[in-house]
Amino acid sequence: MGEIDPAFIQATDQRPKLNPTNPVADEIPIIDLSVLSSPDETRKVVSEIGHACKNWGFFQVINHGVPLELARKIEEVAKTFFELPAEEKKKVKRDMVNALGYHDGENTKNVRDWKEVFDFLVEDETLVPASPEPDDKELRKLTKQWPQYPPEFREVCQEYVRAVEKLAYKLLGLIALGLDQPENRFNDYFKDQQTSLVRFNHYPPCPFPHLALGVGRHKDAGALTVLAQDDVGGLEVKRKSDGEWIPVTPTPNAYIINVGDIVQVWSNDKYESVEHRVVVNSEKERFSVPFFFFPAHHVMVKPLEELLSDENPAKYREYNWGKFYATRNRSDFKKQEVENIQIHHFRLPE
């Protein structure tokens, strides 16, 4: 994975301390989706999710409908792939033309993300802007790269992604209801050439865990992230109430959900995309599988007009998701010494 530059990690433990006279929740909420057949219980779930989105930006779901056997299979094929020799994994290595496939972090200037990943699209292929430049209308095609081994890799991945996509639409509908919108309010943004992807993360044991992070502090740019993690743990969420980094305790057979920047903009800051990070383990490897729910490249992201009023004016100017994606991808791949594009760049003055 490379050598660690101790100077690269700054102030990871300089965190605000809890005020004992003002206790707050220590865990993100766990929400049971098995009761959605009942109207009264559905309203309760909508309220719970709305509260979690507003106060945490994160929650966990149980009884979510994704078959447990399928979740086990996806973890097995991910582990088998990462156990392959480096030469085999690099046959599906990503590059600047196609940002999908295997990545081991070797092109970064400093070792920050102590992990290796494999990305694949939800769709068989999709279009994204060829350039982040506003006047460039050219599109390029993103296509999946499938490794030859393990032989069942592609089939299992395709089955898994459809099951988790179904869950993502369900959650998006519950979030819409929490904003007093129709349940299908956001669906059309994802129906034509969605750019959603799945990522396999492998975090090897790190000999100096105090000097590295599995993933540095960040917010997710998309609409929703649906995360499966193993029982090792490592995900930490920055609690909104006090800025404390809270570890997310692995819950068996649960998915961890967080709202991304797009939901923050759609809701005009009623719901907030929250910083999170992954700490590494000195003894155990860790696997996780996030599903990033991204709209189509042509979608213009802006606060919902139905939520705006004189008392609640728009807090963001609209932006094109495809151009945002292209800008973020170029910066991520090159690890440029510039600030990565964020939604605060589109915030309107008050």
pLDDT of 76-98, one tens digit each? 999 999 999 999 999 999 887 77
Residue 119 corresponds to which amino acid?
D
Return the percentage of the chain with pLDDT > 70, whole number.
87
Side by side, the strands of the sheet bearing 30-32 are 30-32, 58-62, 255-259, 224-229, 286-293, 197-203, 116-121, 101-103
Model confidence at 44: pLDDT above 70: yes
How far lies 4's CA from each of 58, 104, 213, 271, in Å?
30, 15, 10, 36
List pLDDT tens digits, range 172-231. Answer: 999 999 999 999 999 999 988 899 999 999 999 988 777 777 788 899 999 999 999 999
Residue 218: φ, ψ to 5°? -165, 170
Q: Cα(321)–Cα(327) distance, rounded to whole angstroms?
A: 10
Residue 162: φ, ψ to 5°? -70, -35
Model confidence at 111: pLDDT above 50: no
Domains plus CATH for the chain?
A: 6-346 (2.60.120.330)
Confidence of residue 305 (pLDDT cuts 50, 70, 90): very high
Task: Quote the DSSP letter at residue 296.
Answer: B
pTM for the full model? 0.89
CA-closest candidate to residue 323, choices 144, 119, 186, 137 = 137
Per the structure block, which two tokens stand in for 231?
Answer: 């029982």
Residue 262 corresponds to which amino acid?
I
**Residue written as tokens 């797009």?**
262
CA-closest candidate to residue 232, choices 290, 282, 164, 291 = 282
How many CB atoms are located within 10 Å of the residue 113 CB?
Answer: 21
**Residue written as tokens 């430049």?**
133
Q: Cα(27)–Cα(52) distance, rounded to whole angstroms?
A: 11
CA-closest candidate to residue 92, choices 105, 84, 102, 82 = 102
C-alpha 132, offset from chain centre? 21
Q: What is the arithmetic mean of pLDDT over 301-314?
A: 97
Q: What is the arithmetic mean of pLDDT over 106-133?
A: 79
